[in-house]
Structures are given as structure tokens and as C-alpha cells.
A and B are shown apart, each in its own frame.
Chain A
Amino acid sequence: MYAQMVKSTGDAVKSREDMSDDERHFQDKVDANIKVEPRDWMPDDYRKTLIRQIGQHAHSEIVGQLPEGNWITRAPTLERKAILLAKVQDEAGHGLYLYCAAETLGVTRDELTEKLLSGRMKYSSIFNYPTLTWADMGAVGWLVDGAAIMNQVPLQRTSYGPYSRAMVRICKEESFHQRQGYAIMMKMAQGSPAQRKMAQDALNRMWYPSLMMFGPSDKDSVHSAQSMAWKIKINTNDELRQKFVNETVPQAEYLGLTIPDENLKFNEETGNYDFSQPDWDEFFEVLKGNGPCNTDRLNARRKAWDDGAWVREGLLAHAEKRAAAKVAAE
């Protein structure tokens, strides 16, 4: 997902007897679906885990601008260009909401940015894959935003108030993102032979990386169990992945495109599609920095940050001059 393999305490979830009074009171509140607000008492590890999760999510929105930004100047019509630009602009806005939510936990946007740029914080593996044809703009909206929605819709109910409210705003925009992607795929799939080929090729390349977005199976993970107890994670990775496959397969059929999985088959017994797992070795390589675009993506973000330093400093200096002049005048 946009936040993958977020580490929690690393310990098993505490039993009620082992909890302190504060912890028990906190857990009761979470269990009763009462939102935790910035000033409320919260376990240290809850705060730390949330900072990691929200920060990673925010970074994903920001780095996620790059693969789609790659096609803005080549968009084939004025309307497509405007839609894509609006979509990528939304993602920057999502990053902003999420950094603001993280700031309520006592970390600054600059601190988080510094951690991203130094490689100490991650962003979603999916954005380390290249966008090679215009059909990729379709596939990204359809599959990547589609997968993001699977995760973000339940997160609207997450226990931390500012995070939950950010998710509500984000989800409103995500369905437009997915629809514009699907609309591009539709045009391509119904278009010329070359367009159809681009559409199928995009699906071939994006399918397994999209499944990886949910992260490896975490049904036995202690990190995941703690995050679920705190309601900062609502479903297991496998549940969300299955839901995504179930919803996406009929959409691919409607497009007349073939999902690159020979084992894909509807299972009458379970009511789910059986499908092949992605190559998890590849996933871990991407996380380590060995995906096709890791270096380029980080370098692009570093360059934007470094090249922009004088702008940030200049505007700050101006604001300070203004403030000083105001004081002097009073």
C-alpha cells in the first residue's frame, strides 16, 4: 500500500492485565471507536508507528507525482493534459494533508522530508516502476489509485482523528483518479491496434507491481497485529489484495484485456478469484533500492529540494524583514 510494512512495537499485543491504566483507558477508547486527538494521551509506540505510517503515506503521494508527471508534457489532447495535471495536483494536495496530520504528532514536514531524501524513510514500491507509454497513465489511475482506494476507504475509520479526516478528504478525490485512469484504458482498448497493444502492455507491466502495493502477507505479523489493535490498520494485506483482484478482474474483462496470470480463476467455493502471488523477491529488491526507478525518483526529489533551497530561504528572509518592519513601526 502507500504505507507498506510499517513497523510497530515488534512485540505481541499486550493483554489488558499487562497494560498500565493509561494504556487500558486508551485501548478502551479505540475499541469504542472514539477518535484519538492530538492532545490526548497516547502510547509512545502508537505515536511513533503513526508517524512512520502517515509519513510514508505522504511521501508516496509526493514521489507518486513523478511517474505521472512524466507524461503531462506529452498528453495527447488538451483535455487529457488538464485532467492529468489536475490529478497529479491532487496528489500533491494529499501529501500536504498528510504532512499536516503527521505534524500534529510532533514531527515537522521538513524533518520528514529530510528522512525521505536521506533514504531513512520509504515510499510505496509502486512508484519505482517506469511509465513508458500513454496507456500507463490509464493503468496507473485504474490499478494504482484503485489499489490505494482499497486501503484508504477503511482508513477513514482509523483511530487517529487528524489521519481519519485527511483520509476522508483524500477518498473524495481518489475515485475521480481511478475513473480518469479507466477512461484512458477504455479509449486505448477500443482504439487502434497500436493503442490496444499499449493498453495490454501497460497491464502486463503494472499488474504484479499493483498486487505488491498491499505488501506481503501479514496475517502472522506482530507489527500488523498491534496496528490492527490500535485501528491504524483495518484489514490484513491479503484481505485487501483479494478484494482488489475480485473487483479488477471483471473490469479488465470489460476492457477486453488479459490479466497476465495463467492461474487466475474464479473459485466457486470461496466466491473469490484465485490468483498468482507477485514475485516477492522482486518486491524486496525494490524496497532495498533496486527497483527500476528508485535512483531516478529520489534524485528528482533531491534536486527539487536542493534547487528550491534559495526560494525557501528567500521567502523566509522576506517574511522576517516584513515582521521586523512591522515591529519597528509599532
Chain B
Amino acid sequence: MAQVDQKALLEFVLRQGDNTLVLGHRVSEWCGHAPVLEEDIALANTALDLIGQTQMWLGLAAEIEGEGHSADDMAYLRDAWDFRNLLLVELPNGDFGRTILRQFLFDAFSAIYLPLLTKSADPRVAEIAAKATKEVAYHLERSAQTVVGLGDGSEESHARMQEALDYLWPYVGEMFASDSVDQAMAEAGIGPDPAGLRAEYDALIGRVLSEATLRIPEDSFAHKGGRNGYMHTEHLGHLLTQMQWLQRAYPGCEW
């Protein structure tokens, strides 16, 4: 453990925490506006779980960084280029279909990845992953079920879900675009290289999407730049403008 590259470890933890932070924020935008009351409640639940996971991941990130920051500082006082979330999670919600399909694509990855992290050589990582694994299993069950219901629903719902899949598909590949950070984590036994999880992922989503009568686009092009912070979408800046506004406008206050 002593020889783990702390910079790489920090990057790795930020990737987890920024994903849950940004996705939790996006999902929370639905509050009060969902198609049906039960979905409003379910989306709020998902967002709540993701925010809770964020508190743990970003708390750990602050600890690793060692500069006296808090989880809130990490969430509210970094700029867009510091963020390490997937482009997928920062995309605007679109309609309910796109939101729930994005949730499914993310849940499917988490449901495979997090159980592996529970065996992490870093007990702090293992502990967070253990807590999150239970929540994510439930998220996946729910999002998969809704994707099937809408994909194999009415003509309109099917068409909208196919459109959502076509739109989101180019953002799926980034989950598996591993780099030197992932290699360092794999070598240190902290977490698996996501590139090795693609086959399992494809099998899982293939099952659900075929039950949903949706067609996976053939083009395998993948947009990248989120998880390494090289180039986010234009959307992230707007999200942060809202999320960070109070902390930026009234620095140093307690809330």
C-alpha cells in the first residue's frame, strides 16, 4: 500500500465521486417534474443515493489530497477542468426516456464494477464500494425494468427510447477507455482495469436492450475527455454554474 501513487489514487477516487456527484445533480433536476408521482419519488431516491455516495467518495478524495479540504470543497470549489466524471453523466437530461436510459447504462457499469471494488486493497475504497453496491443493485433493477417497459411499450415510447439510445451510445465507450491511472490502480490491487469489463457489460446491456426491442447502434465511436478531464462537454460548465453558485457568491459561509 505504501508505494501507491497518491496522485493516481486521487484521480481514481475523483472519477468515482464526480460521476455520482454530476449524475446525482442531473437526476435531482427532475424533482417535481416527473411523468408520474411514483417516478418522481423513485428518481429522488436515486439522486439521494448518488449524493450520499458522493459524500463518501469526495470525502476520501479530500483526505488523499491532504490539503485540508472537505467533500463540499471538492464539489463546490473546483472548476470544470478539475472534474473527472464521464461525459455521459453531464449530458442534459433530455426527456424522461433519455434520463432513464442513461441511468441504466451507468447502473449496469456500476453493478459490475462496484462489487469488484469491494475487494480493493485500500479498505476505504472497499468500504464505500460495499455501501454503494447494495444501492446500485436496486437502481439497476429499476432502470432496467423501466427501459424494457418503455422500449417494448407503445410505438411512440419505443421510438423515443431508440432515439435516446442512438444519442447516448457514443458516450458509453468512455467507461472502458482506461489509461495509466487505471493501470496503476490495477497493479496496486485497488481496482480492476475497466477495459477488462467490457464483455460482461455488453452481455448485460445486450440482454436488457433486446428485451426492450432496442437496437444497439453499429458505430462504435466513443467520445472521450471526461474521465481524464481533457475535454468536457459545454454542458458541465452550466451545471457547475448552478450547483456552485452560492458557495462562489458567498465564500466561506456556513450553511
Residues in chain A within 8 A of chain B (CB atoms): 62, 65-66, 69, 72-82, 85-86, 88-89, 92-93, 95-96, 99, 109, 134, 184, 187-188, 191-192, 194-195, 300, 303-305, 307-319, 321
Contact = CB atoms under 8 A, between A and B. Distances in A.
B25 interface: yes
B243 interface: yes
A194 B156 CA distance: 50
B178 to A, nearest CB: 28
B47 A85 contact: yes
Given A79-B55, A192-B250, A304-B35, 9 more contacts: A78-B54, A95-B37, A109-B37, A187-B254, A314-B153, A315-B150, A315-B153, A316-B154, A321-B152
B152 A318 contact: yes
A217 B28 CA distance: 39
A300 B75 CA distance: 29
A186 to B, nearest CB: 10
Contacts of A96: 37-38, 41
A27 B219 CA distance: 72
A92 B44 contact: yes
Contacts of B195: none
Contacts of A75: 246
A73 B243 contact: yes
B255 A134 contact: yes
Contacts of B254: 187, 191
Contacts of B72: 77-79
A88 B48 contact: no
Contact of A311 (B31, B97, B152): B97
A72 B28 contact: yes
Contact of A314 (B55, B58, B154, B253): B154
A318 B250 contact: no
A73 B149 CA distance: 29
Given A85-B51, A308-B35, A93 B41 contact: yes
17 contacts: A62-B37, A65-B40, A74-B246, A85-B48, A89-B31, A89-B48, A92-B32, A134-B246, A184-B255, A192-B252, A195-B253, A303-B33, A308-B96, A311-B157, A313-B154, A314-B156, A316-B154
A78 B243 contact: no
A135 to B, nearest CB: 10
B153 A317 contact: yes
A81 B28 contact: yes
B149 A314 contact: yes
A308 B246 contact: no
B113 interface: no
Nearest to A96: B37
Contacts of B29: 72-73
Q: Which of B35, B38, B75, B149 has the most CB of A within 10 A?
A: B35
B242 to A, nearest CB: 5
A134 B249 CA distance: 12
Contacts of A88: 31-32, 44
B176 interface: no
Given A73-B29, A79-B55, A312-B35, A194 B250 contact: yes
A205 B83 CA distance: 38
B233 interface: no
A113 to B, nearest CB: 9
Contact of A80 (B21, B96, B250, B255): B255
Contacts of B183: none
B152 A307 contact: no
A192 B253 contact: yes
Interface string B70-91: 0110011000000000000000
B25 A73 contact: yes
A94 B247 CA distance: 32
Contacts of B135: none
A318 B150 contact: yes
B24 to A, nearest CB: 8
A-B pairs with lowest CB-CB distance, top 6: A308-B35, A314-B157, A314-B153, A65-B32, A89-B44, A69-B32
